[in-house]
Structure 1
Amino acid sequence: MNILITGGTGLIGQALVSALLQKQYQLTLLVRHEKKATAFFPQKKLRFLTALSSFKSLDEFDVVINLAGEPIFAKRWTKIQKKKLVDSRIKLTQQLTQLINAGINPPRFISGSATGIYGDRLIQALSETSPIAHNTFAAQLCQAWESVALQAKTKVCLLRTGIVLSPQGGALQKMLPLYRWNLAGPLGSGTQYWSWIALEDMVRGILFLMEHPQCHGIYNLVSPQPVTNKIFNQQLAQSLKRCAPFPAPSFILRLILGERANLLLESQKVYPTRLLETGFRFHYENLTQYLTALFPPK
């Protein structure tokens, strides 16, 4: 199978590339800087591209996996940064869609999105058929991203991804030092639901959708058991045998993080309904199971 991947040097992308190489698929990575990208995959047989301008179509590929995008939590959401967040997703997805549509034997298209599209929904259980929000930047960004991807005249899978957990990167990597120093605690009220997924299951989910050609449409890439932030805080502290006595009030988070604080404070109780219906099974269905695997009791 011949696969084109964007975002291959990110947290999810690196793990996905490693999994695909083990299956001996032929991989092409679209990257911004080839020299930097090769450092992520030393001695691996990969083809690197820094532009799509040489392609008239993407017919040579069986699947295109689109994970690229400026990290959403890395910087304060100024007008300039918001434009970067939008452009890094929308412009590239438009380019991929146009090239897919220019061919006569188009590849399947697996494209990123996020559970932020649902907005703040308190305790409401959310599936792929739930209404999306329109009143937050994250929701509007995801909606525009999905809309462009769905213009591709092929089978499209949209990955509405929750908080991806891994000690190697992302949110969990940033949290661990605070917990180990006993400086963590609930965020805001702590009652907001966090829909999470282990990195291993995220990669397995993408592979499953890729290897089952009948799959198309929207898929929530989250574990079957979302938890409140308060429960997340308690379980992570217990797993590390630490205390987490320092809550961070909402107004403090908004003062420090600005609009980005919504990503931590909005409640999204999301379920992977369609993924389970296809027959996919999670390695880590609940948070206790995952944290025990990461931090085995001594």
Structure 2
Amino acid sequence: MKSFLYPKLNPPSFTWVRPEKGGTISKVHEWIEPLTAESDPAKCKDADVVVVGVPLSRSSISASGASEYPDAFRRMWKGFTTYNLDEDVDLTELTVLDAGDVPMHVTDIPRCHENIIQASEAIHRTFTASKVCAIGGDHSITAMMVKGLHKAKPDQKIGILQFDTHFDLRDLADNGPSNGTPMRNLIESGVVEGSNIYNIGLHGFFNTKDLKEYADKHGVNYITLGRARKKGIVETVKGCLEELSAKVDLIYMTVDMDCLDIAYAPGVPASTPGGMTTAELLDSVLTAAKHPKLNAMDIVCLDPLKDTTVQTTVKLGTHVFLTYLTGVATRK
């Protein structure tokens, strides 16, 4: 059932049968509303959160099935309730819409990226007061989602809060707009200033020295995981948000699931030892989501095809999303 956002967005790849009107809602799959042909734009525009799937992974440096995550993500909703026991928050206080998936071309990656930019712009222009959450897809989608946001709100300065094992500052001349270049793409396109990017979670032997030198040259702020742990993960996130909010109008959070230790997230294309624990990432996301300027985010580089049989990483990615919504709900 094509919504008013078609052809910028296709219908969700998977939808659940929802309860009858007036029925009890206690599970996530009963609560999130898919946009359909019957959806009224005037009634939808005040949604608290809009979710969009971005099923692209052909632009990944390493072999990746991250394009399968939007579908796996929706199928995982049935395993979660809308009530967060830790925070005593019921997410049904929020109106959350599933806008569907950005259409992708089979072989033309630049066309896929342009589709993401156009879809992001359309969403931000339509849902001006809503938080937007993109479900990737590899990390190349972040640059395109932010470019679309910039087109929709050109007068607002954007900052980036990045949870990642990598700088993602590889040379565009060598790598193109891949999952290794989104932050450099944003800097060199003039959409985001290097000094307005804050990366938490870098560690180990997974970045080259020239990327650090590029980060230093362009003023990128980065906090290694070791330094963050010494200061405290939550305090580190709070400090980054305080600095960012003083410089920008909007904060975009990107969660690359490879920031996690391989023991916690085996289902990522570039899993590494020594990364964040589940608790550290969830605490970080909740802290960030409570900030009033953080109005868009994405979850990227989660590969269901590399996950365990019990879908450890898919479950964790869904938990990250619901934790973000918990932070949004506490603002109200």
Range class of TM-score, shorter chain: 0.3 to 0.5
Give the structure-1-normalised TM-score: 0.33
TM-score, normalised via structure 2 length: 0.31
Larger radius of gyration: 1
